Amino acid sequence: MLPDGLAFYDKVKDGSIVFRRSRSFSFCEDGLVLDDTDDYQRVVVHADLVILSHRLQRRPEAQGHVRVAPLQGNCSRIVGHHRPSVQGVRAPRIPQMAVIGYSESLSNIYTSEMMAKWVARFLDGAFRLPSVRRMEQSVAEWGKYMKRSSGDRFRRSCLGAVNIWYNDQLCCDMGCDPRRKKGLVAEWFQPYGPADYAGIQ
């Protein structure tokens, strides 16, 4: 799913967007180092921002995917049954990394898009994060909720009940009005969906 007018595939054809296949990667001072590429060479990708399309497995061995020494000690807190992170995106003690896009179904793809917008606003300086201590308290609250059981109906806590509240939090952080409906009656009785957040850039 790509924004209109991005011309993503045109940029792929003209070479301004390049795909690199790599079995492992590491960070360097000015970008990313890709190992085990098709031509068996180490490739340095110079970049200010690195976006990885990578599915982090929920196993302790997944810590090996994070090859930057300052991050390895904290990676075990990310890999698990839930991500202990601020707004589900950023771990309090790993300021260099954000995790976006864990979607269990088609119904919450737009939440991943909201996460991406949240990161973009944060990088643009639109808001500041609270202290590490406050963020960790928030993470602990979510951790307790995620460990709650829904009994024999479902294997873990249900997030459906807090989806709108979660998007409200993202909106508040970004300085957007969380009330997306036109009118009080609509706000009370109409369901929320992707179209309600389409105007947030």
The tens digit of pLDDT for each residue in 42-94 reads: 778 787 766 666 554 444 444 444 444 444 444 333 333 344 455 566 667 77
At residue 185, the pLDDT reads 93
Domain ranges in the chain are: 81-197
pTM (two decimals): 0.60
The tens digit of pLDDT for each residue in 123-173 reads: 888 888 888 888 888 878 877 776 776 666 656 666 666 778 888 888 888
SS3 assignment for the chain: CCCCCCCHHHHHHHCCCCCCCCCEEEEECCEEEEECCCCCCCEEEECCCCCCCCCCCCCHHHHHHCCCHHHHHHHCCCCCCCCCCECCCECCCCCCCECCCCCCCHHHHHHHHHHHHHHHHHHCCCCCCCCHHHHHHHHHHHHHHHHCCCHHHCCCCCCHHHHHHHHHHHHHHHCCCCCCCCCHHHHHHCCCCHHHHCCCC
